[in-house]
Amino acid sequence: MSNFTLLHRPRRLRRTPQLRAMARENRVAPNDFIYPLFVRHGDGRTPISSMPGIDQLSVAEAVVEAKKAWELGVPAVILFGIPAEKDPIGLENFAQNGIVQQAIRAIKAELPDLVAITDVCLCEYTDHGHCGLLDEMGNVLNDETLDVLARTAVSHAQAGADIVAPSGMMDGMVAAIRDGLDAAGFTEIPIMSYAVKYASAFYGPFRDAADGAPKFGDRKTHQMDPANVREALREAELDVAEGADFLMVKPGLPYLDVIRAARDAFPEMPLAAYNVSGEYAMIKAAAANSWLDERKTVLEALLGFKRAGADLIITYHALDAARWLR
């Protein structure tokens, strides 16, 4: 036994649950969450096999699911649409009675204070599954796509969306959408930009959920190289300059360093992290095999986003996590 006196004993503050809570640096709460909903035409629900517990929803079922979120203290949902028909342009994306437009109106009629966010991209709506219009060689046309994105954002705002969230990583997308919204009189509608979106292997289950896998090729020409961080900050800087009101980093868990870098570079900006489908599916699969404690693992992962600097977390775990936190 040493004869010196220990002046500093960090374990003193870990001795009881109450002491640990008093010394806790970061917390996660239901009002940090945004809950994704996949909306389709028709009735009822269609389970998504690669995402246990998540379904494709009719408009009526989307309202039911949104109510669950609201009652648990989750303040926002983000809507992804699955159209009745797909075409080279994705016409239902900006149709007055498109599936997302129907869902916005129905959700806001029942839950006027719930924040309705809409994903703005072409991939779920086009028959080729890419994030923009294509030329005859199959290349994504950046500038020609911007008008479609602006028309889609305006259509969502007309239906009652509170926030629009462009996700296609087209250069200039935030500026084009801002111009389109302002010209249509929607100067108050914020833009939550998928400013930093990587060409990730973690999106696989989402492509099942949204029926949005590309029919050929990949998205590496517009989504970011997973090796790059400095480029992420440049992307975010451009979006801020174009008028973004929120920034987002996607995926989440493999990119906590990028979340931290974005937080440090843009301390004034609200920052969201997307806890994506592959991250969700991995935890669900491990929990189903009793390899991990689902509740403890999910809450630890969500806390990791907050510790890295995220203000908001888009997560498929939102309802379960909100119940556990209560």
Q: What is the pLDDT of residue 191?
A: 98
In the structure encoding, which two tokens stand for residue 69, read together?
A: 């979120």
User: Residue 175 phi/psi, 5° resolution?
Assistant: -60, -40
Residue-level pLDDT, tens digit, the chain, 326 residues = 566 778 889 999 999 999 999 999 999 999 999 999 999 999 999 999 999 999 999 999 999 999 999 999 999 999 999 999 988 888 888 999 999 999 999 999 999 999 999 999 988 889 787 788 888 888 889 999 999 999 999 999 999 999 999 998 899 999 999 999 999 999 999 999 999 999 999 998 987 787 766 666 567 778 899 999 999 999 999 999 999 999 999 999 999 999 999 999 999 999 999 999 999 999 999 999 999 999 999 999 999 999 999 999 999 999 999 999 98
Q: Which residues does the annotation mark as catalytic?
A: 197, 250
pLDDT, position 215: 63
Total residue count of the chain as it appears in this document: 326
Contact yes or no for 209/277 (Cβ under 8 A) = yes
Domain spans of the chain, in order of start: 27-325
Rounded to whole angstroms, the maximal C-alpha distance in the chain is 81
From the CA atom positions of the chain, what is the Rg in Å? 21
Among candidate residues 154, 166, 227, 217, the one with its CA nearest the CA of residue 191: 166
* pTM (2 d.p.): 0.94
SS3 197: strand
Tokens of 94: 């900006």
> Can you give the pLDDT at residue 216?
61
State whether CATH 3.20.20.70 applies to domain 27-325: yes
Task: Give me the helix-helix angle, 294-308 and 277-288, nearest 10°.
Answer: 150
Q: Residue 139: what pLDDT?
A: 87
Question: Strands, E, within 88-185: which ranges?
Answer: 115-120, 133-134, 140-141, 163-166
How far is it, in rounded angstroms, from Cα 36 to Cα 38?
A: 7
